Amino acid sequence: MKIATPLLLICLTLVTLAQTPGNVLGQHAFTQVERIGEANARSFYVFTTGGRTYTVRHDGRGEITGPIFIKLRNFFLKMDGAARLERLYSADAGTDLLLTYEVANGRSGWGYIARFDPSVPVFRWFAPIPSMNVGPGLIEGNYVYVTGQDFLAKLDLQTGKYVWQQTDLTKEYGSVFAQFALPEINGAAIVFPEAGAKERTLEVDKVTGRILKGPASLPR
């Protein structure tokens, strides 16, 4: 009987832990990768994570090097005819890598977010960001919040599908939200601060995507 009590406590603890939902990826931000080279000439984006070094060229061609590889591993970013890679952010997702990036064709720009398995290497999925001025994303659990010019969205990291999107901010507030800084969690809401001197913010319900509070507006 004296032995059974500790064993029972251990079993109850294990059951409790098993029943507690796990926050697989926690909360962390994407990191912007600095460009090496000229904006209108040959350029590279180089970063290291998980014991591997990634080099991505301006045309979307990437290479992976690291101690577990015998030779270089190549991969190609989805560009859809764009001429140049303009901006790149990275974040870890367990053993996978998340990349958010912006491309341009000389007339317009747009972006993508992608989940990448570097051990193969292969992309699990790509999701389009229908906007330029792609900002840094914020991961919370199995979701990521992404931004662009007049664009806010929440995306499921398992499926690569959007949970919700806000795409008509100019119509609502009368002027363009050119770019957003890193989002911030505020309880059940997500706050999107505008980058630059204007310092406007939008507060959005995390579940529904409904805007709760905007600049010069009352709570809804």
Mean pLDDT of 14-34: 61
Structural domain boundaries of the chain?
A: 23-213
**Confidence label for 140 from pLDDT (cuts 50, 70 and 90):** very high
The pLDDT, as a whole number, for residue 174 is 86
Mean pLDDT of 85-96: 95
Average pLDDT over all residues of the chain: 86
Global confidence as pTM: 0.84
The pLDDT, as a whole number, for residue 69 is 67
Domain 23-213 architecture: Beta Barrel (2.40)
The pLDDT, as a whole number, for residue 198 is 75
Quick: pLDDT tens for 145-188.
Answer: 999 999 999 999 999 999 999 998 998 888 899 999 999 999 99
DSSP characters over the chain: -TTHHHHHHHHHHHHHHHHSPP-SS-EEE-EEPPEEE-TTSSEEEEEEETTEEEEEETTSEEEEE-TT-SS-EEEE---TT-SEEEEEEEEEETTEEEEEEEEE-SS-EEEEEEEEETTTTEEEEEEEE-SSS----EEETTEEEEEETTEEEEEETTT--EEEEE--HHHHHSS----B---EEETTEEEEEBSSSS--EEEEETTT--EEE-TT----
